Structure 1
């Protein structure tokens, strides 16, 4: 059991494992006739973001996008399975339900990878806070005035 923990502790193995497992279950779930394209669309985006996270080994954004798509896919999978349950064959439904069951595990593994790469969920970056932030006037940058020189004409007052 410690070998499995060491294997999942490796930073790049987690992303590859999640990508492979979901690729296997998604490709088998797509063997049915979904008919609406939404299931294929968001799972295609998820697989592309997983390949991006595998390719860019230090990118926080790649894992973050895969994490957001994977977490939102839980809801999308539920809706797709409920709406199209009667139109699907048993093979596709079975693999899509197994894929749905594995999504929270993959969200946890991707969140762990997100933290390993240095990402953090800060609510201040998304939601406004009550803290006053300092304002920097970029139109008139402050420059240190030399102490030994005489003051010259104020050029900024012309504008």
Structure 2
């Protein structure tokens, strides 16, 4: 059992496992007639985000994107299943429901990966705050103070 915990503790295995499991269930769920392509589109974006996460091994943004898309797919998959339930075959509905049930597990694994890569949930980065932030004024760079005791030259800026 410790080997499984050690394996799941590896950052690259978590993302690959999530990608493989969802790929398997999404491809089987797409064997039905889903209507206007919303199910395919949302899951295609999720798979692209997972591939980006696997490619960018140090990127926090890639994991965050995959995490947000995966969490939003919970809602969208539920809507697609409810709307198209009567027109779907049993095979596609079964795999789409299993995929929907596995989404919270993949959200937890992606969140763990997000934390492993150094990401934190900061509300200040999304919502405005009243806290004053410092910035560098690039229009008026600060002049270094002279360290020698020589007399300063003429002030050219004062003639304008």
TM-score for the superposition, normalised by structure 2: 0.92
Partner of 1:38: 38
- Structure 1 residue 3: deviation in Å? 2.1
- What is the rounded CA distance, in whole Å, between the counterparts of 1:13 and 1:125 in structure 2? 29
Q: Which deviates more, 32-41 or 2-11? A: 2-11
Cα deviation digits, residues 78-125 of structure 1 (max 9, x gap): 111111111111111111111001001000000101111111111111
1:3 aligns with 2:37: no
Partner of 2:123: 123
- What is the rounded CA distance, in whole Å, between the counterparts of 1:77 and 1:135 in structure 2? 43
- Structure 1 residue 4: deviation in Å? 1.7
- Structure 1 residue 150: deviation in Å? 2.7
Partner of 2:72: 72
1:110 aligns with 2:107: no
Partner of 1:51: 51
- Structure 1 residue 156: deviation in Å? 4.7
- Pairs within 5 Å for 1:60-99: 60-99=60-99
- What is the rounded CA distance, in whole Å, between the counterparts of 1:46 and 1:76 in structure 2? 12
The runs of 4+ residues in structure 1 deviating greater than 6 Å are: none
Return 5+ residue gaps in structure 1 as ranges.
Answer: none
1:22 aligns with 2:31: no
TM-score for the superposition, normalised by structure 1: 0.93
Over the aligned positions, Cα root-mean-square deviation in angstroms equals: 1.5
Return 5+ residue gaps in structure 2 as ranges.
Answer: none
1:137 aligns with 2:137: yes
CA distance 1:47–1:156, shift in 2 (3 Å): farther
